[in-house]
Amino acid sequence: MTATTTRERLGALASTPLVWGLVAIVVLLAINSLRDPGYLGVELAESGRLTGNPIDILRTAAPLLMIALGMTLVVATGGIDLSVGSAMVIGGAVSMEMLQAGDGSVGSAMAALGMALLITAVLGAINGLLVAFVGLQPFITTLVTMLAGRGLAKVITEGQNTSASNEAFRWIANGTVLGAPVVFLIALAILVIVVVLVRTTALGMLIESIGIDPKASRMAGIDRRSLLVAVYVISGVLGGVAGVFATGSVMTVDVSNTGLLLELDAILAVVVGGTALTGGRFSLAGAAIGALLIATLDKTVVFLGVSSAATPAFKAVVIVALCLLQSATIRERLSRVRLRAPRREVTA
Partner 1 sequence: MTTTIEHAQAAPTPPWHRRAIERARRRGIDVRTLPTGAAGIILAVMLVYGEIAYGQVLQASTLSNLLINNAHFVILAVGLSFVILAGGIDLSVGAVIAVSSVAGVMLVGAGWPTPLAIAAMIGIGTAFGTASGVLVQHFGVQPFIATLAMMFLARGLASMLSTTPQRLPDDSSFRLLGEPWKLIDGPRVNDLMASAGLVVAVVVVVVAAIVLQRTRFGRTVYAIGGSESSAALMGLRVPRTKLAIYVISGTLAGVAAVVYTARLGTAQNITGMGWELTAIAAVVIGGTLLTGGYGYVVGSVIGALVLGLMTVLITRDGGVPPEMTTIITGGILFVFVMLQRAVVRRRR
Taking each helix axis from N to C end, the angle separating 203-212 and 224-248, rounded to the nearest 10 degrees, works out to 110
Under the binding rule (CB under 8 A), the answer on residue 201 touching partner 1 is: no
Whole-number Å distance between alpha carbons of 248 and 172: 7
Nearest to 255 by CA among 118, 67, 115, 93: 93
Under the binding rule (CB under 8 A), the answer on residue 316 touching partner 1 is: yes
- What would the x/- binding string for partner 1 be over residues 251 to 280, using CB under 8 A? ----x-----x--x--xx--x----xxx--
Under the binding rule (CB under 8 A), the answer on residue 161 touching partner 1 is: no
Instruction: Considering only residues 107 through 146, tell me which ones interact with partner 1, judged by CB under 8 A.
Output: 134-137, 139-140, 143-146
Nearer to partner 1, 40 or 277 (CB): 277
For residue 202, the minimal CB distance to partner 1 (Å) is: 25
Under the binding rule (CB under 8 A), the answer on residue 338 touching partner 1 is: no
Position 177, amino acid = V
Under the binding rule (CB under 8 A), the answer on residue 314 touching partner 1 is: yes
Whole-number Å distance between alpha carbons of 287 and 311: 20
Write the burial class of residue 202 (CB in 10 Å: 0-12 exposed, 13-18 middle, 19+ buried).
Answer: exposed
Whole-number Å distance between alpha carbons of 321 and 317: 6
**Residue 308: C-alpha distances to residues 155, 299, 300, 303, 338 (Å):** 29, 9, 10, 10, 38
Under the binding rule (CB under 8 A), the answer on residue 158 touching partner 1 is: yes
Under the binding rule (CB under 8 A), the answer on residue 74 touching partner 1 is: no
For residue 265, the minimal CB distance to partner 1 (Å) is: 10
For residue 215, the minimal CB distance to partner 1 (Å) is: 8
Under the binding rule (CB under 8 A), the answer on residue 304 touching partner 1 is: no
Under the binding rule (CB under 8 A), the answer on residue 250 touching partner 1 is: no
Question: Beta-carbon neighbour count of residue 165 at 10 Å?
Answer: 11
CA atoms within 13 A on the CB side of 280: 7
Under the binding rule (CB under 8 A), the answer on residue 212 touching partner 1 is: no
For residue 162, the minimal CB distance to partner 1 (Å) is: 13
For residue 313, the minimal CB distance to partner 1 (Å) is: 2
Under the binding rule (CB under 8 A), the answer on residue 320 touching partner 1 is: yes
Q: Is the distance from CB of 184 to CB of 251 less than 8 angstroms? A: no
For residue 144, the minimal CB distance to partner 1 (Å) is: 5
Nearer to partner 1, 115 or 276 (CB): 276
Q: Classify residue 252 by its DSSP letter.
A: B
For residue 10, the minimal CB distance to partner 1 (Å) is: 22
Largest Cα span, the chain: 78
For residue 196, the minimal CB distance to partner 1 (Å) is: 29
Under the binding rule (CB under 8 A), the answer on residue 1 touching partner 1 is: no
Write the burial class of residue 287 (CB in 10 Å: 0-12 exposed, 13-18 middle, 19+ buried).
Answer: buried
Q: Is the distance from CB of 142 to CB of 83 less than 8 angstroms? A: yes
Under the binding rule (CB under 8 A), the answer on residue 191 touching partner 1 is: no
Position 334, amino acid = L
3-state secondary structure of 43: strand
Under the binding rule (CB under 8 A), the answer on residue 328 touching partner 1 is: yes
Under the binding rule (CB under 8 A), the answer on residue 220 touching partner 1 is: no
Under the binding rule (CB under 8 A), the answer on residue 330 touching partner 1 is: yes
3-state secondary structure of 255: coil
Under the binding rule (CB under 8 A), the answer on residue 215 touching partner 1 is: yes
Quote the distance between the C-alpha of residue 348 and its chain's center: 47
Binding site for partner 1 (CB under 8 A): 80, 82, 134-137, 139-140, 143-152, 154-155, 158-159, 215, 255, 261, 264, 267-268, 271, 276-278, 307, 309-317, 319-320, 323-324, 327-330
